[in-house]
Amino acid sequence: MQRINQTIRVTKFILVGFSSLGELQMLLFVIFLFLYMTILLANATIMTVIRCSRSLHTPMYGFLFILSFSETCYTFVIIPQLLDHLLSDTKTISFVACATQLFFFLGFACTNCFLIAVMGYDRYVAICFPLRYMVIMNKRLGLGLISVSAATGFFIALVATNLICDMPFCGPNRVNHYFCDMAPVIKLACTDTHVKELVLFSLSILVIMVPFVLILISYGFIVNTILKIPSADGKRKAFATCVSHLTVVIVHYGCASIIYLRPKSKSASDKDQLVAVTYTVVTPLLNPLVYSLRNQEVKAALKRVFWRPAPSKLV
């Protein structure tokens, strides 16, 4: 801590994280390392397959490629430091590093929320306007939606990070979490935080509920269109194209809502950390697995890219 004009200013935070688990931290290290390697491999596989398979060069898989890349960056902000702290006795992080982690975590998290909503709009166009799909979802619109999602996500992250880091931190410096998230850091501010918490809650509604409502509206039109399909097989195929996206929507927005859209409470932070593990570790792993295991086009592309039959020898 530094003393400036008779005021103590915190220069480092201690990430308490899983330190209460003692020797179990080594087991957690092995588990998180395995999951992190799996996340990197799974997302790299999805991006490679989309890049190498011409049949997947469509707007839907272009958005999935960007989402996989964003999820990879998202986990890179959190998990390597978590692994380091699980093996270290000193679990400190500087104020600047904490602010940097918070900014990139929020930036990629917000971008992912918007990208998933864009993918919902893509499904709406594909099912409700199949003959005009490639005309509507052209390359220019796709790049524009991706750019707006990223720019809006990181702008909101910049605003939120500035609001939090502008607060005075002059007392406790133990963050009851395994990374610098909004609520655990705000609790350490030595000033009234109600106004800024209200602003941050409003931003959370904007990032989580607005895209979620837009997805619900899109699927309302999608269901209405599917019900008009005369054949049962046609209905099944149309709905099958949405199952993977719906699974990601439920897990992603469900976990985010539990943490960021609840009123301020004194609930145990240990429960928050369990939910945080879901959206920082499980969700980035779930996305590529869901799209590869439940999507026939991706499964077929995987076989073509990685299990190409050896050329027959001419006798």
Instruction: Map 248-307 to HEC letters.
Output: HHHHHHHHHHHHHCCCCCCCCHHHHHHHHHHHHHHHHHHHHHHHHHCCHHHHHHHHHHHC
Instruction: Report the pLDDT averaged over residues 162-186.
Output: 87
Instruction: Report the pLDDT averaged over residues 32-46.
Output: 92
CA 311 to chain CA centroid, Å, is: 41
Most confident of 5-19, 126-140, 292-306: 126-140
Task: Look at residue 205 in the predicted model and tell me its pLDDT.
Answer: 93
Residue 268 has pLDDT above 50, yes or no: no
Confidence of residue 315 (pLDDT cuts 50, 70, 90): very low
* Pairing mode of beta strands 12-15, 174-175: parallel
Instruction: Report the pLDDT averaged over residues 208-223.
Output: 93
Task: Look at residue 65 in the predicted model and tell me its pLDDT.
Answer: 92
Task: Look at residue 146 in the predicted model and tell me its pLDDT.
Answer: 95
Task: Look at residue 271 in the predicted model and tell me its pLDDT.
Answer: 66
Residue 312 has pLDDT above 60, yes or no: no
Share of the chain above pLDDT 90, in %: 40
Residue 72 has pLDDT above 70, yes or no: yes
Task: Look at residue 89 in the predicted model and tell me its pLDDT.
Answer: 80
Instruction: Report the pLDDT averaged over residues 103-112.
Output: 95
Instruction: Report the pLDDT averaged over residues 7-26.
Output: 78
Give me the numbers of helices (H) and strands (E) for the chain, helices first please: 11, 5
Residues 6+ apart with CB under 8 A from 233: none
d(CA 6, CA 4): 5
Q: Pick the more confident residue, 270 or 196.
A: 196
Residue 36 has pLDDT above 90, yes or no: yes
pLDDT, averaged across the chain: 85
Residue 279 has pLDDT above 90, yes or no: no
CA-nearest of 101, 92, 97 to 16 is 92
The domain ranges of the chain are 12-261+274-299
* CATH architecture entry for 12-261+274-299: Up-down Bundle (1.20)
Whether residue 102 contacts residue 180, with contact meaning beta carbons closer than 8 Å, is answered with yes
Instruction: Report the pLDDT averaged over residues 89-98.
Output: 88
Task: Look at residue 37 in the predicted model and tell me its pLDDT.
Answer: 94
Task: Look at residue 5 in the predicted model and tell me its pLDDT.
Answer: 47
Residue 274 has pLDDT above 70, yes or no: yes
Whether residue 124 contacts residue 63, with contact meaning beta carbons closer than 8 Å, is answered with no
